[in-house]
């Protein structure tokens, strides 16, 4: 009887482990993260993925994703999430005239997802905004275009039932016409602190990167973290920095000046004091949970994540900083 009980427990443990397996393909990375917690940035990417799936499943008909930082995975997460749902979107990622927009909406008016990627100039144009406003709201959603420029075969009105996703850097301010469009969309902001970008860099490079050992990759990332200052970091920095490391090592030269010169071209963050204040709050919160739950790290983790809204990986990194400083 005891042997049967042990076997059943072993099977249950294996099932639980299987259910907890997570692959980075949902967030744009192909690393196996079984038994590894997601970073804070990956958690946001996963939440974005769920918003995209609402569009794919026709629960929502419009999504507006914004964030001033480049390289956080807005476009990649959107495209990967759509692909996971078997959807090949209509991609618009360059200048489009009002007539071209109207034509695109008409040609893909049914059973399609149109992805407008980094076409921010469209959001300052009244003709574009008028078309989008009509396409995104109403029952039915009727889009009209009254112009002598309409080519033959293109009607001056039609019903639009497809879905739209927009990815932009910023939300235009003081633009009532744009606000009318935005009010018709689900809205998602993808932002990250430098600490969170560094955290994901470490996670990506944990098993090495393009022939670079994990220790060498960690050395490069440590250098980026130490020298970033108040500059706004991006995941796009990781690949070029590691390639510079490979080149410098093959040439027998110092790799640090090459990477530092790249860091100097980055823009500066505008919320430095807020970021520093967040770090201070994280440290204060972890001291509180250590004091309240001295004998249970699970309780420390659960309560810290609830207090800060951050991930398990952030908890362990902050805990390490506390341990090293004391």
- Do residues 209 and 101 both lie within one domain? no
pLDDT classification of 13: cutoffs 50, 70, 90? very low
pLDDT at residue 326, rounded to an integer: 47
Which is higher by pLDDT, 32 or 173?
Answer: 173
- Do residues 138 and 41 both lie within one domain? yes
CATH number at residue 185: 3.40.50.300
Is the pLDDT reported for residue 265 higher than 80? no
pLDDT classification of 148: cutoffs 50, 70, 90? confident
Is 124 inside any structural domain? yes
pLDDT classification of 213: cutoffs 50, 70, 90? confident
- Do residues 167 and 79 both lie within one domain? yes
Is 320 inside any structural domain? yes
- Do residues 166 and 204 both lie within one domain? no
pLDDT at residue 27, rounded to an integer: 33
Distance from the Cα of residue 90 to its chain's centroid: 20
Please say which residue of 189, 204, 230 terminates a domain.
189
- Do residues 222 and 138 both lie within one domain? no
User: Is the CB of residue 105 less than 8 Å from the CB of residue 129?
Assistant: no
Q: Which residue has the tokens 């020298």?
A: 227
Non-local (6+) Cβ contacts of 58 within 8 A are 163
pLDDT at residue 322, rounded to an integer: 66
Alpha-carbon distance of 205 to 209, in angstroms, equals: 6
- Do residues 180 and 246 both lie within one domain? no
Give Rg (Cα) of the chain: 24
- Do residues 61 and 97 both lie within one domain? yes
Report how many domains make up the chain: 3
- Do residues 199 and 173 both lie within one domain? no
Per-residue model confidence as pLDDT tens digits over 73-93? 889 999 999 999 999 999 999
User: Is the CB of residue 182 less than 8 Å from the CB of residue 123?
Assistant: no
Is 14 inside any structural domain? no
Alpha-carbon distance of 33 to 85, in angstroms, equals: 21
Is 113 inside any structural domain? yes
- Do residues 165 and 205 both lie within one domain? no
Q: Kindly give the residue spans of alpha helices, DSSP state H, lying in 21-125.
A: 40-56, 74-84, 98-107
Please say which residue of 152, 168, 189 terminates a domain.
189
Please say which residue of 156, 189, 222 terminates a domain.
189
Is 10 inside any structural domain? no
pLDDT at residue 295, rounded to an integer: 86
Is 2 inside any structural domain? no
- Do residues 231 and 153 both lie within one domain? no
Is 30 inside any structural domain? yes
Is 309 inside any structural domain? yes
Whole-Å CA distances, 54 to 57, 185, 193, 236: 5, 12, 27, 28
What's the domain range around 231? 194-263
Whole-Å CA distances, 198 to 97, 119, 188, 195: 39, 28, 22, 5
- Do residues 59 and 178 both lie within one domain? yes
- Do residues 232 and 291 both lie within one domain? no
Residue-by-residue DSSP string for 212-245: B-HHHHHHHHHHHHHH-TTB---GGGHHHHHHHH
With H, G, I as helix, E, B as strand and everything else as coil, classify residue 317: helix
Per-residue model confidence as pLDDT tens digits over 30-42? 444 445 677 888 8
């Amino acid at each position: 009887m005891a042997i049967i009980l042990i076997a059943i427990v072993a099977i249950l443990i294996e099932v639980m482990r299987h259910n907890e397996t997570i692959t980075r393909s949902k967030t744009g990375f192909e690393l196996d993260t079984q038994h590894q917690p997601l970073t804070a940035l990956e958690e946001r990417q996963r939440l974005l993925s769920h918003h995209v799936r609402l569009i794919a499943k026709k629960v929502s008909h419009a999504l507006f994703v914004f964030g001033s930082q480049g390289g956080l995975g807005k476009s990649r997460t959107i495209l990967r999430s759509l692909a996971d749902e078997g959807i090949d979107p209509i991609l618009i990622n360059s200048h489009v005239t009002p007539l071209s927009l109207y034509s695109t909406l008409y040609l893909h008016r049914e059973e399609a997802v149109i992805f407008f990627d980094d076409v921010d100039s469209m959001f300052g144009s009244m003709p574009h905004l008028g078309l989008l406003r009509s396409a995104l709201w109403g029952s039915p959603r009727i889009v009209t275009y009254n112009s002598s420029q309409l080519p033959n075969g293109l009607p001056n009105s039609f019903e639009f039932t497809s879905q739209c996703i927009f990815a932009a850097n910023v939300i235009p301010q003081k633009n009532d016409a744009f606000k009318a469009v935005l009010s018709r969309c689900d809205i998602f902001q993808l932002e990250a602190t430098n600490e969170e970008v560094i955290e994901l860099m470490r996670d990506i490079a944990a098993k090495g990167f393009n022939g670079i050992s994990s220790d060498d990759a960690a050395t490069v990332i440590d250098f980026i973290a130490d020298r970033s200052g108040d500059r706004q970091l991006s995941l796009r920095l990781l690949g070029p920095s590691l390639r510079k490391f490979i080149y410098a090592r093959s040439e027998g030269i110092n790799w640090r000046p090459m990477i530092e010169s790249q860091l100097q071209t980055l823009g500066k963050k505008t919320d430095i004091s807020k970021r520093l204040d967040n770090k201070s709050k994280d440290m204060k919160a972890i001291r509180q949970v250590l004091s309240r739950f001295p004998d249970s790290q699970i309780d420390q983790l659960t309560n810290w994540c609830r207090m800060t809204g951050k991930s398990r990986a952030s908890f362990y990194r902050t805990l390490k900083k506390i341990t090293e400083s004391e």
